[in-house]
Amino acid sequence: MNSSSGGPIRVTGAWTGLLSDWLDREQLAAPAIRARLARYAPDDPVPVRDWRMLLEQATQLRPALEAPGLVIGSGVMPHHVGVLGYLVLASDTLAEAMAAYQRYERLFYGINIAEVRITHDQAQLRWVPTETGPIADETAIAALVTFIQRQSLNNAPPSRVCFVHTASVAHARACEDFFRCPVEFGSSHTVVQFPTALLATPMRHHEPGLRALLDRQAQALLKALPDSNAFDQAVQQVLLRQLPDGNVHIDKVASALHQSTRTLQRRLADSGMTWQQLLDRTREQLARQYLHDRGLSLAEIALLLGYSEQSTFIRAFRRWVGTTPLAFRRKAPA
């Protein structure tokens, strides 16, 4: 099953926790559904046809619900979205959160299918049509909007939501009540749209899981440069923020430090290292820390370190350490 982006669609195992938690809240035994959900570990890829079938079977247990996907999605928590959730929480603004979602979306679906469009007064997240199905689409969008609203300091609703599938009048009304904005059906794309002014909305920064992730990053950076001075530490902090964006460059780091690239290179030389040595050393120590956390997949670690491909990370780690990330993880204490 392919999207128009040309790759297979799936969801990540952690995402199925949305459904398990909904069954718990509804006090539904559903042994067959639960047994199937239990097959998937958080890092496992779940074929989208299986996810769609599980949602359909579960929601048939509550036939009176007009839009069950919205109820399921509204129960979203950070552990359902893994490292992406923590990166969204670590974002300073809604704009950064949207960018983090776009970059890390393929950890959920196996490919990137979202695009961000910004005009002078509106910002959109748009998804090309896929075969996920109406319930799965509504669950995903309800989770996204709920997560953003819960973690931002402004609980403002979207200005518009669009779905590719059609809906009855009653169903459309239920969706508009949930999203608190106009909802269109039969659209060419799935869309969540916000006023551009909301992009500057600050995020809350208070999740325990986020604190743990940032603590691990800080520990790794201290090990990367144990004798670092204030300047070295400032460079590391900029690197820490820019690595997950996947576009780390010395010019960007210099700009963030309000100095020229030449000045940054000179000051690094004074510290006894080149830019590439600093980048490699920081990535290596972060990788070592992340590999101790078995909740992070290799794909997640690769993206956290700024690599677009897991294979590139594996080659780099072998060069640094002399072994593969999986071999290192097996030997690491649990």
Over residues 132-183, the pLDDT tens digits come to 899 999 999 999 999 888 888 778 899 999 999 999 999 999 999 999 999 9
26-37 average pLDDT score: 95
Look up the pTM and report it. Answer: 0.71
Instruction: Give the model confidence (pLDDT) of 260-274 as tens digits.
Output: 999 999 998 988 889
Confidence check: pLDDT of 2 > 50:
no
Query: In this prediction, what percent of the chain has a pLDDT beyond 90?
Result: 45
| CATH class for the domain made up of 10-200 | alpha beta
Distance from C-alpha of 193 to C-alpha of 190, rounded to nearest angstrom: 10
Question: Strands 10-12 and 45-47, how do they pair?
Answer: antiparallel
Q: Domains of the chain: which residue ranges?
A: 10-200, 208-331
3-state secondary structure string across the chain: CECCCCCECEEEHHHHHHHHHHHHHCCCCCHHHHHHHCCCCCCCEEEHHHHHHHHHHHHCCCCCCCCHHHHHHCCCCHHHHHHHHHHHHHCCEHHHHHHHHHHHCHHHHCCCCEEEEECCCEEEEEECCCCCCHHHHHHHHHHHHHHHHHHECCCCCCCEEECCCCCCHHHHHHHHHHHCCCEECCCCCEEEEEEHHHHHCEECCCCHHHHHHHHHHHHHHHHHCCCCCHHHHHHHHHHHHHHHHCCCCHHHHHHHCCCCHHHHHHHHHHCCCCHHHHHHHHHHHHHHHHHHCCCCCHHHHHHHCCCCCHHHHHHHHHHHHCCCHHHHHHHCCC
62-67 average pLDDT score: 94
Shared fold status for 10-200 and 208-331: no
214-225 average pLDDT score: 68
In sequence order, what are the residues at sequence separation of 6 or more whose Cβ sits closer than 8 angstroms to the Cβ of residue 39?
none
Lowest mean pLDDT among 172-176, 208-212, 231-235: 208-212
pLDDT given for residue 85 in this prediction = 73
| CATH class for the domain made up of 208-331 | mainly alpha
